[in-house]
């Protein structure tokens, strides 16, 4: 069966999606798991003394067929799922968890790794080899290699339970997102909504065989509604619906799942000798400790809170003066913020959207990558995809060498989770002196084209595309030996640097001129609009910063303490939001039950990393600004020391090689308008 081989008989060894049936997955996983176990056994039973090559490198290249299969399956589970795939995921997750434990709790394997580790000073290893050795050794220790047999068995049970609970959490959020629909049949309730939003809602209603205009909790539908709809009651209804995802008395409720996850994570950390889950996680982060993270978040909160309070008061007064609103509620925030922005800057997204046709913005991202890193993106129609809307591109360098295969998937669908992310179907690595190039994908949820308009992006969607494209470049430009150190396989509080720095080009006139052209007239975006974009970039930045910090503090609340005495999720949230809340609480809503980043993604005890990486990206982009935003020397330094290096060295070492110094927080505060 094609899916079981490491090499596919396809162009560039790309995944043969159309050949894979759902029923292929379970037997494929069984075979790939068995094959991985055989590879591990061969390392353990090698009669020769342990060496870097026969143990550490052999381990680095083991299980690659399984990794490839997992990448394909779980990426589809996020972007094109169905009931059958969800059942398979529930069956596969504990098996993969068990295999992981079989490897990391294999004492004979650990003994070989430890023998090499103990000899590391005498092995004359490269920086990358040394990093791989240290990572392997720590992976074993951090996953229970030093536990006794009964503790190892306990760890297996915990990991298996966590694997199932985290999957179930995500499936419940998706089910709740899909379950809600706001159908408007009276045209007057569309007042305030942009023409394109109304048209998209009509198309959605027709596709669902309904009369009227249909709105959902998918972001391209939800965000315009709460931003522009004049009907306050309907804004309230859809806002509350979004806020109570998986917090309702039904089969998709995530309250118990959240409590079970945090308690199991705590139990796991204690088993391994750590004070909390956050202590365990942060040992492998730039931040290193919960204390440092909390100090970082609270220091930023101290600087941002006065500005946020001032902004909230200004917004409240504006709503009162405009419409007699006595108390600003959560369903009023985006609506009056947009109106105030229009009044202050004479700028709104509807003015900007005609200049941000999706195809043009994508080409703009490609052109920025070309000017910085010499990359060329050529669309190719012969690569197999998992959905007809997915676009595929060959990425080549100046010498016409293949650098990567790039997939782009832009529109919401029933089987696709909300949000935007970058992922890969195949990592970059070097084996037997041959470079294997990566297959990288970005997945977003942008407004679809309508019968009369192409997909026109809000400015926030433009920055989202550039953000995910930045992650993609981290994968595309990877140039390492081992797959586990390649591309985005870096500390989580470093992984957002390549993505967040790319957003900066969206605010620069020199970059906008390349792609911001009116979809009807072809006219380049007027420079007065560019100036307004830059002027408004820090609009309500205090409130935005406090909101982000609130998520980071909630995450640390769940994971930086002993959670065993927490019984009421809502009460816990109210306590943790005490220092950051600006709007009145909504009793029917909870954040944690749909906080997928920390309960179904990789960000547990790591949500702070968005702000941490903002410090890095503001400091890094300031370097570009000093020398020119398309300066090739600075771009090469960034490519050679950050993008291509993956996790081969400590992030701060890589950053200082690029920048010549440690990052300074002042660049972020200045950009955010918070430096007085």
Q: What residues contact 244, with CB distance under 8 A and at least 6 apart?
A: 588, 589, 590
- Residues 338/340/345/346 CA torsion (nearest 10 deg): 70
Token digits for 316? 């409240």
Q: Measured on CA atoms in the order 507, 364, 613, 177, is the torsion positive or negative?
A: positive
Q: What is the mean pLDDT of residues 231-235?
A: 98
Instruction: Grade residue 2 by pLDDT with cuts at 50, 70 and 90.
Output: very low
Calculate the CA 143 to chain-centre distance: 24
User: CB of 205 within 8 A of CB of 232?
Assistant: no
**Which pLDDT score, from 0 to 100, does residue 347 have?**
86
> Per-residue pLDDT tens for 592-634?
999 999 999 889 999 999 999 999 999 999 999 999 999 999 9
Q: What is the mean pLDDT of residues 281-298?
A: 94
Q: What is the DSSP letter of 357?
A: B
Q: Measured on CA atoms in the order 8, 10, 12, 16, is the torsion positive or negative?
A: negative
Instruction: Grade residue 169 by pLDDT with cuts at 50, 70 and 90.
Output: very high
Instruction: Grade residue 673 by pLDDT with cuts at 50, 70 and 90.
Output: confident
Count the residues in the chain. Answer: 676
Calculate the CA 226 to chain-centre distance: 24
- Rounded to the nearest 5 percent, the helix, strand and coil shares of the chain are 60, 5, 35
Return the HEC string of 9-44: CCHHHCCCHHHCCHHHHHHHHHHHHHHHHHHHHHHH
Of 188, 183, 225, give the one whose Cα is nearest residue 208.
183
**Which pLDDT score, from 0 to 100, does residue 676 have?**
61
End-to-end CA distance of the chain: 64
Of 474, 503, 473, give the one whose Cα is nearest residue 486.
474
Q: Report the percent of the chain where pLDDT is more than 70.
A: 99
Q: What is the mean pLDDT of residues 240-266?
A: 98
Do the strands 421-426 and 434-436 form a parallel or antiparallel pair, or are they unpaired?
unpaired
> Per-residue pLDDT tens for 411-454?
999 889 888 999 999 999 999 999 999 999 999 999 899 888 99
**Which pLDDT score, from 0 to 100, does residue 339 have?**
95
Active site residue 160: no
**Which pLDDT score, from 0 to 100, does residue 1 have?**
46
Instruction: Grade residue 65 by pLDDT with cuts at 50, 70 and 90.
Output: very high
Of 447, 453, 457, 441, give the one whose Cα is nearest residue 506.
457
Q: Report the percent of the chain where pLDDT is more than 90.
A: 89
**Which pLDDT score, from 0 to 100, does residue 3 have?**
53
Token digits for 552? 């980071």
Q: Is the pLDDT of residue 4 over 80?
A: no
Residue 479 has a CB neighbour count (10 Å cut-off) of: 18
Of 284, 358, 390, give the one whose Cα is nearest residue 605.
284
Q: Is the pLDDT of residue 300 over 50?
A: yes
> Per-residue pLDDT tens for 491-548?
988 999 999 999 999 999 999 999 999 999 999 999 899 888 888 888 999 999 999 9
Q: Is the pLDDT of residue 6 over 60?
A: no
> Per-residue pLDDT tens for 541-570?
999 999 999 999 999 999 999 999 999 999
**Which pLDDT score, from 0 to 100, does residue 669 have?**
86
Token digits for 181? 């629909």
Rounded Cα–Cα distance for residues 648 and 311 (Å): 43
Token digits for 537? 């970039």
Q: Is the pLDDT of residue 188 over 90?
A: yes
Please report how many Cα atoms fall inside a 13 Å half-sphere around the Cα of residue 235, on the Cβ side. 23
User: CB of 426 within 8 A of CB of 13?
Assistant: yes
Of 35, 37, 284, 267, give the one whose Cα is nearest residue 136.
284
Three-state SS for 403?
Answer: strand
Q: Exactly one of 176, 468, 508, 614 is catalytic; which is it?
A: 468
Q: What is the mean pLDDT of residues 304-319?
A: 97
Token digits for 359? 């195809």
Mean pLDDT, the chain, rounded, equals: 95
Token digits for 132? 């791989």
**Which pLDDT score, from 0 to 100, does residue 226 have?**
98
Q: Which residues pair with 394 in a beta bridge?
A: 378, 405
Q: What is the mean pLDDT of residues 364-378?
A: 98
Of 336, 246, 668, 633, give the one whose Cα is nearest residue 496.
668
Rounded Cα–Cα distance for residues 273 and 255 (Å): 28
Return the HEC string of 449-475: CCCCCCCECCHHHHHHHHHHHHHHHHH
**Which pLDDT score, from 0 to 100, does residue 223 have?**
95
Q: For 159-168, 221-230, 410-419, 565-574, which range has the lowest pLDDT when averaged over its residues?
A: 410-419
Calculate the CA 18 to chain-centre distance: 27
Domains of the chain are: 2-146 (1.20.1050.40), 180-243 (no CATH), 354-537 (1.10.1370.40)
Q: What is the mean pLDDT of residues 198-218?
A: 95
Q: What is the mean pLDDT of residues 30-50?
A: 97
**Which pLDDT score, from 0 to 100, does residue 350 have?**
85
Do the strands 182-184 and 213-215 form a parallel or antiparallel pair, or are they unpaired?
antiparallel
Do the strands 439-443 and 402-409 form a parallel or antiparallel pair, or are they unpaired?
parallel
């Amino acid at each position: 069966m094609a899916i079981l081989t490491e090499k596919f008989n396809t162009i560039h060894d790309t995944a043969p999606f159309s050949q894979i049936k759902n029923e292929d997955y379970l037997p494929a996983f069984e075979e790939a798991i068995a094959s991985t176990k055989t590879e591990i056994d061969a390392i353990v039973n090698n009669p020769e003394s342990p060496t870097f090559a026969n143990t550490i490198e052999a381990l680095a290249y083991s299980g690659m067929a399984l990794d490839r299969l997992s990448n394909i399956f779980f990426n589809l589970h996020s972007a094109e799922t169905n009931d059958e795939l969800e059942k398979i995921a529930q069956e596969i997750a504990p098996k993969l968890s068990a295999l992981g434990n079989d490897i990391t709790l294999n004492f004979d394997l650990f003994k070989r790794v430890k023998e090499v580790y103990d000899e590391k000073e005498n092995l004359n290893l490269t920086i990358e080899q040394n990093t791989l050795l240290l990572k392997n050794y720590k992976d074993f220790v951090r996953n229970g290699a030093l536990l006794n047999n009964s503790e190892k068995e306990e760890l297996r049970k915990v990991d298996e339970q966590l694997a199932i609970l985290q999957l179930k959490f995500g499936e419940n959020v998706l089910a709740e997102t899909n379950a809600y629909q706001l159908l408007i049949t009276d045209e007057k309730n569309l007042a305030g909504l942009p023409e394109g939003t109304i048209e998209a809602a009509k198309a959605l209603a027709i596709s669902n065989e309904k009369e009227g205009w249909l709105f959902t909790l998918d972001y391209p539908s939800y965000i315009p509604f709460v931003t522009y709809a004049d009907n306050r009651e309907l804004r309230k209804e859809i806002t509350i619906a979004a806020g109570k995802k998986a917090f309702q008395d039904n089969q998709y409720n995530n309250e118990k799942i959240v409590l079970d996850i945090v308690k199991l994570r705590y139990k796991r950390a204690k088993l391994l000798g750590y004070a909390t889950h956050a202590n365990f996680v942060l040992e492998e982060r730039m931040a290193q400790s919960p204390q440092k993270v909390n100090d970082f978040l609270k220091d930023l909160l101290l600087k941002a809170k006065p500005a946020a309070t001032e902004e909230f008061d200004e917004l409240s007064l504006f709503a009162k003066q405009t419409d007699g609103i006595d108390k600003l509620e959560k369903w009023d925030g985006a609506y009056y913020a947009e109106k105030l922005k229009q009044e202050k800057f004479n700028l709104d997204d509807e003015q900007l959207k005609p200049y941000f046709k999706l195809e043009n913005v994508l080409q703009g991202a490609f052109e920025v990558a070309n000017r910085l890193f010499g990359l060329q993106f050529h669309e190719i129609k012969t690569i197999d995809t998992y959905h007809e809307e997915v676009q595929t591109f060959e990425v080549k360098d100046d010498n016409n060498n293949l650098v990567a295969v790039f997939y782009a998937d832009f529109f919401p669908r029933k089987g696709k989770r909300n949000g935007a992310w970058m992922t890969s179907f195949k990592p970059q690595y070097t084996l037997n002196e041959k470079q294997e190039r990566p297959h990288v994908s970005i997945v977003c949820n942008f407004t679809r084209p309508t019968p009369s308009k192409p997909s026109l992006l809000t400015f926030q969607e433009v920055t989202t595309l550039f953000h995910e494209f930045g992650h993609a470049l981290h994968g595309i430009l990877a140039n390492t030996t081992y797959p586990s150190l390649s591309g985005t396989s870096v500390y989580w509080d470093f992984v957002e640097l390549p993505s967040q720095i790319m957003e900066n080009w969206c605010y620069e006139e020199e970059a906008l001129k390349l792609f911001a052209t009116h979809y009807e007239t072809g006219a380049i975006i007027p420079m007065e609009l560019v100036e307004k974009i830059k002027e408004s970039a820090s609009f309500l930045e205090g409130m935005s910063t406090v909101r982000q910090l609130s998520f980071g503090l909630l995450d640390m609340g769940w994971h930086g303490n002993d959670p065993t005495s927490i019984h009421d999720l809502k009460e816990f949230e109210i306590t943790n939001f005490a220092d950051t809340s600006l709007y009145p609480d909504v009793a029917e809503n909870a954040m944690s039950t749909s906080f997928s980043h920390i309960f179904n993604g990789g960000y547990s005890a790591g949500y702070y990393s968005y702000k941490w990486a903002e410090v890095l990206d503001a400091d890094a982009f300031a370097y570009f600004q000093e020398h020119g935003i398309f300066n090739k020397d600075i771009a090469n330094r960034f490519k050679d020391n950050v993008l291509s290096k993956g996790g081969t060295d400590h992030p701060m070492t890589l950053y200082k090689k690029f920048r010549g110094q440690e990052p300074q927080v002042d660049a972020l505060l200045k950009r955010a308008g918070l430096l007085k």
